[in-house]
Structures are given as C-alpha cells and as structure tokens.
Amino acid sequence: MKILLSTIACTLSVVFFWGSKPVLAQSVSAQRATEIRADKLPSSAVIGQLSAGAATRVLSVEGGWVQVEVRDGAKGTRTGWVRASTLNLQAGSAKAADLPNGRLASNNAALSLGVRSLTPRDNRHALIIGISRYADPAIPGLPGAHIDRESATQMARAMQVPESNIRYLQDEQATGDGIRQALADLNARVVEGDRVFVHYSGHGTRYNDPNAGGCVEALLAHDGGTRGTITNREVADLLKPLTQKTDKLFVMYDACHSGGVIKDASTVRTRGYTNANDDGLLRPKFASISEECGRPVNIKGRNLEIEQTAQGVLPQDIVHVSASRDNEVSFDDAQKGGLATQFMRDCMLRDAKDLDGSGAITMDEIRMCAQDKLNKRMQNDANFKPHNITLNGNAGFVPAWFSQAMPVTAITSVAANALPASVTTTSAASATPATPAVPVAALTGEQALRQMFDQRDAKRRVQVTLGKNALKIGQDALDLAVQSDRAGYVYIAMAGSDNQALHLLFPNDLDQDNTIKAGQPLRLPRPNWRVKAGGPAGTDSLLVMVTDGPRDLTALAASANAPKAGPFVASLNDAQGRAQLGALMSRSQGLSAPTCSTAAARQNNPLCSDAYGALMVSVEEQK
C-alpha cells in the first residue's frame, strides 16, 4: 500500500525508511596458551591449541567460557571453547566483553541496538531449581542438574534477568516445602507487568490419585514422599498468582513423567547408559513411585498448561516447555546437563534461525533448533529414540529481541506455520519437526505486525472502532476510536497491501499526546493531521497498542537511514526493520530510571512495566 499521509499544511507519499548495522564478532588476543575444547566443559575433547598472543575471533561469551573462531591452516577456520580468563577481553578496540552471547556475532548478526537492548531489566525475574541428589538413596541421582543451573542462568541472562533477580534452589534446598516457599517469595517480589522465568531440572514422576480419576503427573522434590511430590495441579495453583500479574510466565521442565518405555527401568536408571554417538553418560529423568502409572496406558494428559488454562489463565500469557511428552523418557547427561536444557540454551543464545524472516527468534524456532540437535545426538543410539521437546502456550513468544542479518531460506512445514501462536505446537501426530525444505515466502506486513501482537499481555483489553471498514482511494480518510480497560499510551502501526513499509502513524511529529484514560475512548486522527487512502486496492492492517509505560522512539528519528519526510516514521518491512521496531516497542522508557529498581517502586507505577495490550484491525482500500 502507498498511502497519502496528509496534514493541514501538506500532502505527501511516504517512501523513507530506517535500518541498522549488524554487530560483528570481535577479534582479541590470547593472554596465555590454552586448549580449545569442543564444548564448555573441562572434560570436553581438545580440538586445537591457541598460543599466547594469537589472535582469535570471539563469537559468544557465556559464563566463564568464550566461543572462539581460529584459523587452522589449510583446514580453514575452527570453532571451539576456551576459558574466558585466557583471553584479553578488555581490549578497548575489541569490545568483546559487550557480546553477551553468540546471537550478536557475525553470520548471526543482531541490530546495532542489540547490546543496549539486552541490558538487564529490573522487572524480569528467574527461579532456577535443580535436584542432582535425593534424600531417598533408592532414587538415582542426576549429576547433570548442577550443569543445568548454569545453563538456565545463561538463558535467564539472555532474557535480560539481572543477577540480583535470579534465585536458586539446589538439592537439599529444593524440598517440596522449599519449592512452595520459593514460589511464594517470587510472587511477593513480582508486580504487575513483570516477566518471570522458572526452570526445573530433576526427576518427574506419576502416581495414581483416586480423587483425580487416574494417574497424575508430578515433580519429585529432594525429600520425596507426600510433601515432596508436587503435582501439576498444585504447581498451577502455586503459579496462578504470578500469571495474574506477569505479562509473560515462561516455565521449563527438564524432567519426564513416564518410565513405561523402559522394560527394566530400575536397572537402566541406576547405571545409566553410554550413547555411542556421544561420550556423555545419560540417565532417564524419571523416578517410578507407582507401578500402575509407570506405563503410558491410562494417561490423562493433564500437563501444566492444561491445568493452568483450566483455572482461567490465558494461553497467550504463558509459555511452557517440557523436555518430553507425557509418555516419553527424557535424559540427563552427567557431563553436560539435561539434553533439553543444553540444546534450548544453545539455540536461544546463538544457534536458532529466523526461519520465517520475521526479524526475531520465537520460542517455536528455538524449540525446532533444539529438537534437531537432540535428534542428532541420539540418532545412533541402539536402545532409545529421541524424546520430543514440547511447547505449549504462546509459541510466538520472543524471549529477547535480537535478529539475524539474513533469514533462513526454508521453513519446516506449511502446517506448522498455519497454527496460531497460542496453541500446542508439538502433539502425538507431529513428533519430530520435518527437515526444512520449503522456500520462505516474503513476510507480509500483516504477519510482521502480528508478531508484535503475539507479545501482548492478553489480560489487558483494547477495543478499536473504525469509522469505516472500507476506504475509497483518494477520497476517504482513516477514522477510529481506541478504548482500553486501563490508562496508558497509544501507538498505532500500519502495514499496507504493498508490503513495502511499516508505518508508525501515531504518535507523530504533529501529535505527541498519546495518553489514554481507562474506559474513555480516544478518537484519532486529531484535526491537525489525517491519513488518507492512497492505494493500491487491498487490505491495510493496523496494530493498535496500549502500553503501560511510554516508549522511547528517538532512535528511529536519529537513524541515518531514516531521513524525516513530514511527521511520520516508517521502516522497510525487512528482518532488520521489524527487529528494531519490536525491540523499541517492547521496552518501557521508564525502566531506565532508578525509581524502577525495586518491587516497591514498581508497584502501581506503570512507567516501570513493559506490558501492553493490543488489537489488530483491517481496513479495505477500494477504487
């Protein structure tokens, strides 16, 4: 669509845009000689040597390890891991320490505001629970759960959770009552509009509950027994206060709930087994406390997402990842941690691809990447098939707004892309994602706006009334009224049928007053500006957002690639443009103020909230 955007003073066609430059990997030197390892483990295989003073390129900085790329003579380049202490990361020209993860490295480039946008946010929280040993000696240990703690911490950092907002329960701390208290304490720290990440690594189990009419699934805390067995229904009850306040609640279980596929589970569980395709020792993450429920014959399928939605929680506002289906065994690697956790970590931090060219990495794209890694890890195993990582709730959730310079030229399947973002994306009928084979079609403007729409807090209600659903080209002007169930700030973005640009219609240079009062309609445009249909014939899509706090959009006007042309701003409908718009629209301007640093300060202060409500509407342009 090419619309005519007019004011009292002028009429113009908008063709300008803004963009961003990728952040490239940084070159640093080795402070001393060191071994290059295949993975972030002291016991991992040595794949090369880095001599003192040698230059290397930093691809990712994760905890105490750095992923580097080095020249290996005629063999070309090689990628591996070294201890961070062996490199000169503080070199002024390198700025390598500014790379929090591989998503910002070359060949996986992020927008130039990426480093700034990935700074910690005081309204983000994490609870990381890991149980590697149990009070009952009959329950086998999971040594990899200690490693999952660091992996989950890296995921939390990628989601901009500050160190001070990460809480841990490990082993003896993670009793049933300890977990209950930790969730209650988390709820006390969280205020409306905050975001929460909960990660559990340990055994899952299933037992018969006559009151529930069959087998129920549960997490097995350190102490086990009645108080140490926490059913999904109880977890849903414990999380409900959080879901009523958070804009997104992201829960990951690296556990499984069935031992039925193991004929002699006790033997395999205690000794583990060696996968010929990898040097790690794997252990099933299931503890059988009920013979009749240890086999997948009377499974009710009451997973956590089902339990929560049964309580009225909106699927749009929750993200649940489970290491396996309810009739599968998931595995713990003694040296690298849970398979699901380590692969979800790697894909979130650097390896997942922007399959649809949307400009951001969604949870479903992260899941598909992790599943592919898991399949390859277990492809030569003689005893077990790969377990399937399941994703329920908001599959379109973007955990952090970083992007790649170029989209992958493939998608997994037409059926998968046809699913709405708030449905289960893995089911019994769709096991392992298909190998990418179908070329990616250019993302439409409507799809680009819908990705931002998918990040909304569905508890915030927005209504839009159009003066006309159809506009005559060259004659009719856009007219609408916005109403919200709470006060906030209105932003309107539009994508037209020409699929060339995403226009930010409001606020603009002529009208910066975008505040709205709860329950009171706001009519737009105001008399000093209007938006007239300029063709071609087709459908225009509008995203109307009401944010709790104002957004700082000065970066749009400041971009060298975005010369101003009248009062309006636009971006090309490409991956970089969509990513930058999403990054800026997802952060409240007030979060940079010291007044948002504590829960008490954020309480009843909408300026400290990233959350927003949204609605999408369509307008037809006709000749």
Nearest to 332 by CA among 341, 319, 344, 345: 341
Average pLDDT over every residue of 185-201: 95
pLDDT digits (tens, 9 = 90+) for 115-128: 333 678 899 999 99
Instruction: Compute CA 391 distance to the chain's CA centroid, rounded to the nearest angstrom.
Output: 12
Of 399, 418, 434, the position where a domain reaches its end is 399
Q: Which residues of 550-579 are buried (b: 16+ CB within 10 A; e: fewer)?
A: bbebebbeebeebeeebbbbbbbbbbbbbb
Handedness of CA 423, 425, 430, 434 (dihedral sign): positive
> Mean pLDDT in the chain?
76
**Residues 82, 139: one domain?**
no
Q: Which residue type, as a one-letter code, is found at position 125? A: H
Q: Is the pLDDT of residue 85 over 70?
A: yes
**Residues 556, 530: one domain?**
yes
Contact between 131 and 142 under an 8 Å Cβ cutoff? The reply is: yes
Of 333, 364, 399, the position where a domain reaches its end is 399
Tell me which long-range contacts 290-296 makes (C-beta under 8 A, separation of at least 24).
290/205, 290/206, 290/207, 290/208, 290/215, 292/208, 292/215, 293/206, 293/207, 293/208, 293/215, 294/206, 294/258, 294/259, 294/260, 294/265, 295/258, 295/259, 295/260, 296/258, 296/260, 296/261, 296/326, 296/327
Q: Which residue type, as a one-letter code, is found at position 394? A: N
Q: Give the pLDDT band of residue 7 (cuts 50, 70, 90).
A: very low
**Residues 197, 302: one domain?**
yes
Looking at the domain assignment, is residue 505 inside a domain?
yes
CA distance 357 to 438: 13
Q: Is the pLDDT of residue 474 over 80?
A: yes
Looking at the domain assignment, is residue 131 inside a domain?
yes
**Residues 70, 132: one domain?**
no
Q: Which residue range forms the structural domain that includes residue 298?
A: 119-399
Tell which wins on pLDDT, 121 or 291. Answer: 121
Looking at the domain assignment, is residue 306 inside a domain?
yes
Residue 478 token pair: 């856009």
Distances (CA, A) of 515 to 231, 484, 606: 44, 11, 12
CA distance 496 to 536: 9
**pTM of the full predicted structure?**
0.79
CATH number at residue 513: 2.60.40.2550
Contact between 441 and 591 under an 8 Å Cβ cutoff? The reply is: no
CATH number at residue 273: 3.40.50.1460
Query: Tokens 């002529």 label which residue?
Result: 510
**Residues 83, 137: one domain?**
no
Quickly list H helices, 82-223: 114-117, 145-158, 176-189
Nearest to 213 by CA among 302, 288, 291: 302
Contact between 590 and 610 under an 8 Å Cβ cutoff? The reply is: no
Number of domains in the chain: 3
Q: Is the pLDDT of residue 271 over 70?
A: no
Contact between 489 and 551 under an 8 Å Cβ cutoff? The reply is: yes
At residue 475, the pLDDT reads: 93
Looking at the domain assignment, is residue 376 inside a domain?
yes
Contact between 121 and 162 under an 8 Å Cβ cutoff? The reply is: yes
Q: Is the pLDDT of residue 334 over 60?
A: yes
**Residues 127, 86: one domain?**
no
SS3 484: strand
Looking at the domain assignment, is residue 105 inside a domain?
no
Average pLDDT over every residue of 365-387: 85
**Residues 14, 54: one domain?**
no
CA distance 301 to 206: 11
Quickly list H helices, 125-284: 145-158, 176-189, 232-243, 265-271
Give the least confident one: 32-41, 88-97, 118-127. Answer: 88-97
Looking at the domain assignment, is residue 569 inside a domain?
yes
SS3 57: strand
CATH number at residue 74: 2.30.30.40
SS3 209: strand
Q: Which residue type, as a one-letter code, is found at position 558? A: A
Q: What is the β-pairing status of strands 26-29 and 34-37?
A: unpaired
**Residues 451, 583: one domain?**
yes
Average pLDDT over every residue of 478-489: 97
**Residues 36, 143: one domain?**
no
**Residues 92, 138: one domain?**
no
At residue 402, the pLDDT reads: 60
Looking at the domain assignment, is residue 428 inside a domain?
no
Tell which wins on pLDDT, 422 or 130. Answer: 130
Looking at the domain assignment, is residue 328 inside a domain?
yes
At residue 178, the pLDDT reads: 97
What is the phi/psi pair of residue 532, to 5°? Answer: -105, 140
Q: What percent of the chain is predicted at pLDDT more than 90?
A: 36
Average pLDDT over every residue of 218-247: 91
**Residues 351, 496: one domain?**
no
What is the phi/psi pair of residue 283, to 5°? Answer: -130, 135
**Residues 589, 462: one domain?**
yes
